[in-house]
Amino acid sequence: MSKLKVAAFSISLDGFGAGPRQDLQNPIGVRGLEMHDWIFQTEFFQKMIAQSGREEMATFKPMIHQSGGARGVDNGFVAASFENVGASIMGRNVFGPVRGPWKDEASGESWKGWWGPNPPFHTPVFVLTHYARPSLEMEGGTTFHFITDGADSALTKAKAAAGNKDVRVGGVSVIRQYLVSRQIDEMHLAVSPILLGEGEALFHGINLHQLGYKPVKVVAGENATHVIIKKT
């Protein structure tokens, strides 16, 4: 049965899922990349960057390790986050730091994501935005669809595209929207041992217990603690 899930989503010890003041140099906000260091050290991630070629994943190329990355618990969780995913939903901030109307497509200046011409999704990706834009077909099977009529519409389209596979959701604001409506079935949170102090708080004002969510598994990884939360 298809699920709406959060997978390999990093949060800080003080509950932030992104840092403040996102820009080109800080794709997940100031100090946001520190939360994802557990991912960057894994063999799965290192192979994904090394095999991308040209400018793909250019934002993350400085994180390539000569050792080829580590195997172990963290690596297993990263790899599992891509399994059985038939579509993804993300907020516009996850797609990029661009605000307001999109630039003219004909000019070639429109933002096409952080990941270069061959993004790592290889499935349809539905981007929630207030500004219409034609679908953007990339290499490797990824097509970005820009949804202007809300989270429910994005979920309907994503489930249709995913078929029997799961829909993965990312981005603090989008996760929060689906949580408060109890539409998320499962979350894998990777708690990184850092304190951001400011940014986007994942659970602020949300009573997960009241909504019927409970932790069902906790696993200590090499560089993060992995918590699985499910809807009861």
DSSP state of 49: H
Element at 44 (helix H, strand E): helix 43-50
Q: What is the full DSSP assignment across 186-226? A: EEEEEEES----SSEESSTT--HHHHTEEEEEEEE-SSSEE
pLDDT at 98: 85
Domains of the chain, earliest start first: 4-97+119-231 (3.40.430.10)
Nearest to 73 by CA among 37, 120, 38: 38
Q: How far is CA 127 from the centre of its chain?
A: 11
Q: Tens of pLDDT along 70-79?
A: 999 999 999 9
Give the other-Cβ count within 10 Å of 3's Cβ: 16
Q: Is the pTM of this model over 0.75?
A: yes
pLDDT band at residue 103 using 50, 70 and 90 as cut-offs: confident
Task: Spell 96-112 as b/e; 16+ CB within 10 A means b.
Answer: bbeeeebeeeeeeeeee
Whether 57 has a pLDDT exceeding 90, the answer reads no
**Using an 8 Å Cβ cutoff, are 221 and 39 in contact?**
no
3-state DSSP assignment of residue 206: coil
